[in-house]
Structure 1
């Protein structure tokens, strides 16, 4: 039986099911073939849409690739507003955003995309540029905005919140991440990921509040 929330929920006015269908299909093709080897024809076939439908929503492969990366970040909760954490204790804020970040960064899809981008970077620099702009650059900007707000509210003490944000993200890339990228270890469980984030946050907090 559906809950009352489920019964009354409606997609937003900007909801475009066909675009979401295309992005989901493109995600699979890009993961399998990488940026360079993927064609718009293959995406249209995978999505089971006409090329007219595809190009109407995504006029170029570059825009489609950017949309795929951005959608994955959105799905993992990394397109957040700093104000949404105003009522939370600092540790809870850092644990929550840290878990979101590692859940994405350590995921199989993100590892495969990172490997493909690094492999293609020399001969296909546009792929690396698009990946960085849609993923890491936007993610860094969100975290900088969060730490800036924390500093403005007096929750943390720093004259360089952008530096603090980048150091926090660097801390979240420790643990098993290097081995994962190199294919040298199995993916950590959710419990293991969260335990790592908890320890990293506690260590980080000792520096922020000293």
Structure 2
């Protein structure tokens, strides 16, 4: 009976959170220093300080590692967004808070680097690009669209296509910011004042088009 208890308390293969974090930390260092294409699973083994057999218990490929790294940070961000998009009675104030967070995140070094990586491999690994889009931008648009649905229902916004409106606001909030970072024209992220100015203009324009009609 004691042996059965010991087995039940033992962490199942591939489920030790400390070991998983150790591997992901090693993979992050490798991807940052070498780039996704140049990196190999052997490089991750060395950086993480684990055996190759242990690595493959947790992740079968570097694509899985890359996806897992993005997913962890993305979940934290999405949970924060859900908290922001909670009050449909004050869309202008809510969109300002959301827009600043969105533009700050999209122009961050980590996100810019991840987007560059996906773009560089999407022609030969379209499934990676599709997964990146569905779990990130598409999901974010869905959350914002749902918020607009709620705002339309209480009369604080007026629009027929909330999904289109969500896509438009994302573009407005990041206008002139994301592409400069993505293509290396701006090597440093924008200052908070620049982001606020951008988002304030986006909210003003958006509310002029979709604010409640008299």
Q: TM-score, normalised by structure 2?
A: 0.75
Kindly indicate whether the alpha-carbon contact (under 8 Å) linking 2:122 and 2:129 is maintained by their aligned counterparts in 1. yes
Distance in 1 (CA, whole Å) between partners of 2:127 and 2:33 is: 18
Q: Corresponding residue for 1:68?
A: 69
Aligned residues: 196
CA displacement at 1:52 relative to structure 2: 4.3
Q: Tell me the equivalent position of 2:107.
A: 106
Bigger radius of gyration: 2
* Paired residues of 1:36 and 1:124 also in contact (CA < 8 A): no
Greater alpha carbon shift after TM alignment, 101-110 vs 35-44:
35-44
CA contact (8 A) 1:102 1:172 kept: yes
Distance 1:88 1:162 in 2: 19
- The residue that corresponds to 2:78 in the other structure is 78
- Residue 118 of structure 1 is matched in structure 2 by 119
Contact 2:88 2:156 in 1 (8 A): no
Say if 1:97 and 1:127 are closer, same or farther in 2 by CA, change over 3 A: same
Q: 1:82 to 1:203 in 2, by over 3 A?
A: same
List runs of 5+ in structure 2 lacking aligned partners: 1-14
Aligned to 2:210: 208
Q: Which residue of 1 aligns with 2:45?
A: 44
Per-residue CA deviation, residues 62-92 of structure 1 (Å, 9 max, x unaligned), is 33222212223234x2344378622762122
> Unpaired runs of 5+ in structure 1?
1-13
Deviation of 1:196 (Å): 1.5
Per the alignment, residue 200 of structure 2 pairs with 198
CA contact (8 A) 1:101 1:172 kept: yes
| Aligned-CA RMSD value | 2.8
Identify the residue that residue 179 of structure 1 maps to in structure 2. 180
Moved over 6 A (4+): none
1:105-133 deviation digits (Å, cap 9, x = unpaired):
10112222222322222234343233223
Contact 2:88–2:154 (CA<8 Å) still a contact in 1? Answer: no
| CA contact 1:117–1:128 (8 Å) conserved in 2 | yes
